[in-house]
A and B are shown apart, each in its own frame.
Chain A
């Protein structure tokens, strides 16, 4: 079983701050990495994907991948109360098998 580990939280940040979410994975062969946001009672919605080492930015979101350290992170700048949700890290193997972490709950306080 390939492991994807996330701190369950909750992570609390004030509105306007940077939220930093982290994920580690066990399989060095993993090839694709995803961040999903899941509101309570809803299904996961895609925020970002990243395949290569380094940073990838999309609006207020930046994904960071370090394959040598088997580590992927998500930074949310200018956090808003509407960002309060559970953030799921997913790791893809052979582009057709995906393992999810248990998620980190983020609370953004107004």
Chain B
């Protein structure tokens, strides 16, 4: 596609429920990132994929959060037993790769606004 797409754009759920957020990166981009952004803050790194593997998941806040990218393209962020503190905008970004000469330049999707009641 022309840009990074994310679905759904909005998700309202109840505390304790399970949610899945989907990201479709720019075609040909091997690197994919998930971020979480709270109001008034910059994006906070969650996880980075290079191809199918999670190269760095050090930003995931706890074991309720998990992400996959089984075929090296679309990625799904999964949150179990949601809590009110999980409410935020979840941003996905992709880049050509991870290296200099602008290949690490990230392009963001429109985000998914998650609200946990």
> What residues of chain A have their CB less than 8 Å away from a CB belonging to chain B?
4, 8, 31-32, 34, 36, 42-46, 49, 51, 88, 90, 92, 94-103
Checking B40, B56, B107 against A96 with a beta-carbon cut-off of 8 angstroms, the contacting residue is B56
A44 to B102, CA, bound (A): 17
A32 to B102, CA, bound (A): 9
* Cβ < 8 Å to A, chain B residues 2-45: 31, 33, 35, 40-45
A90 to B85, CA, bound (A): 24
Task: Give the A-B contact count at a CB cut-off of 8 A.
Answer: 59
* Cβ of A31 to closest chain B Cβ, rounded Å: 7
A31 to B35, CA, bound (A): 20
User: Given the complex, which residues of A lie within 8 Å of B40, measured CB to CB?
Assistant: 8, 102
On chain B, the number of residues with a Cβ less than 8 Å from chain A's Cβ atoms is 27
Checking A44, A92, A94 against B43 with a beta-carbon cut-off of 8 angstroms, the contacting residue is A44
A46 to B102, CA, bound (A): 12
Contact A100 B43 (CB under 8 A): yes
Contact B109 A96 (CB under 8 A): no
23 contacting pairs across A/B (C-beta < 8 A): A4-B42, A31-B100, A32-B100, A42-B110, A43-B109, A43-B110, A44-B108, A46-B106, A46-B107, A49-B105, A51-B100, A88-B42, A88-B43, A90-B42, A95-B98, A95-B103, A96-B98, A97-B45, A98-B106, A100-B35, A102-B40, A102-B41, A102-B42
